[in-house]
Chain A
């Protein structure tokens, strides 16, 4: 396409937007509203995600080892558990280390643990354990089961059969918390995407109606263009320019509003009297990190919706 033709088409699109300004403003308004709701939903979803990520760092599971478990079984577990599927980190806490941990916990009163201290101390009532954290917390229940079965060992009985024991006599896992978090994250992201889709469809309909009005207002011109031999692509272009410009303007406005509100919220949370919220504030994605993707997403969303709305409204008018 020639530059002069391109300039002509852009001028046409712009001209029709201006002469149709009421409809243009109305569709910009609706699109901005849709983008804002979508943006808020997405920001909420990513921030909840970030908070859940943070909470998930506390996903430690404790596998307590039965004192009667044979040493070779425990040695074997020390080698195998860190390599097991979905295990991010595995630490062995010996009975003596457990005492030292407890002493640390007790602080000034740590001395009460003196009687139990020392490697191989027969008095020590605390069990040895494995502390394990997972890569994928959503699979916690299954993983715990699988790891627990690794603790099984068989002891031959007198009658020739074997009795099966498990080296782990107790397991502490925050299964419930993790499944709540995982569900929370899933719900938030479903709602977010649901909104994106529903509002996307609404926006397409609104834009395509605006364009349809423009097409209607210019149907004679379109008819003439067809008879003097303009290609469909050429006839369509001004409408695409119009639709995409509406999309882009809406995206910029929505970025300004949502981005501004986010910045304001961030500043408010950083105030000293809001420090009780510091747990959330720490997880809140910083403004400068979200503003780029937000503006990009809005532009992409707005412009493609403008284009799709356009395409869906002018197809039938070109059938001459």
Chain B
């Protein structure tokens, strides 16, 4: 595997087995072959149920590929040991659609939390957290609780938290799903700025417009298959969505 591949899927198939075979098996992804290079900015586009979240779960090793191999940041996830998974994840900054902030903690504490639970010394936390908060433009809101912040601000805390470990890859699941359209441009611009510093960015979305606006590489997933992969906008892609 060339060293510039940050993410690579080789003949990946993911089947969800029904619990106690009451429900039928669901093939969420199949025949997926792709690679994402270091420093790329990629959209993963598809309808609801197409398999986008499954794609992310495979990268995060929340799920294991049923067939084929997934490589992330030089690791073969079919062979990774259980106790190495935390270290894989420290190299993957994730921004979830629902932000997943801890409501009882301030913006500062939410970001610091990600460093505390990974055994980073307090001195380093005190330096790093204000810095990443300033990167997302939230220095002034460090001591606010999530409920005192707007959706866009909460998302930026989530992004700041994803940045604390300086991960080579940032993954955003539906980053524009829960916020106003103008704010979604703002977050996308932030992601682009981070990308320009060399971080690989993967944005999962079902919004065709968003992918089209930024003219980036777009991987189109439909019914569990990659049906298109290239720079948006595509005539073909528009036909699907």
Contacts and interface: CB of A to CB of B under 8 A. Distances in A.
B114 A221 contact: no
A2 interface: yes
B86 A230 contact: yes
B162 to A, nearest CB: 8
A155 interface: no
Interface residues of B, number: 24
Contact of A224 (B100, B119, B121, B164): B100
Contacts of A293: none
B116 A8 contact: yes
Chain A residues touching B, majority SS: helix
Contacts of A114: none
Contacts of A1: 119
A281 B226 CA distance: 86
Contacts of A221: 102
Interface stretch (B3-11, B87-95, B178-186): B87-95
B121 A2 contact: yes
Given A227-B94, A229-B86, A229-B165, A2 B62 contact: no
Contacts of B86: 226, 229-232
B118 A4 contact: no
A269 B118 CA distance: 59
Contacts of A223: 100
A145 B163 CA distance: 85
Contacts of B87: 229
Q: Find the residue from B82, B118, B119 having the highest chain A CB count within 10 A.
A: B119
B119 A5 contact: yes
B83 interface: yes
B122 interface: yes
Interface string B93-124: 01010001010000000000110111101100
A190 interface: no
Interface string A233-259: 011000000000000000000000000
A225 interface: yes
Contacts of B118: 228-230, 234
A228 B119 contact: no
A154 interface: no
Contact of B121 (A4, A225, A235): A4
Given A229-B87, A229-B165, A234 B119 contact: yes
Contact of B89 (A5, A8, A227, A235): A227
* Residue from A5, A227, A234, A235 whose CB has the most chain B CB atoms within 10 Å: A227
Interface of A: 1-2, 4-5, 8, 220-221, 223-232, 234-235, 320
Given A4-B122, A229-B90, A231-B83, 11 more contacts: A2-B119, A5-B116, A223-B100, A224-B113, A225-B117, A226-B86, A228-B113, A229-B89, A229-B165, A230-B117, A232-B82
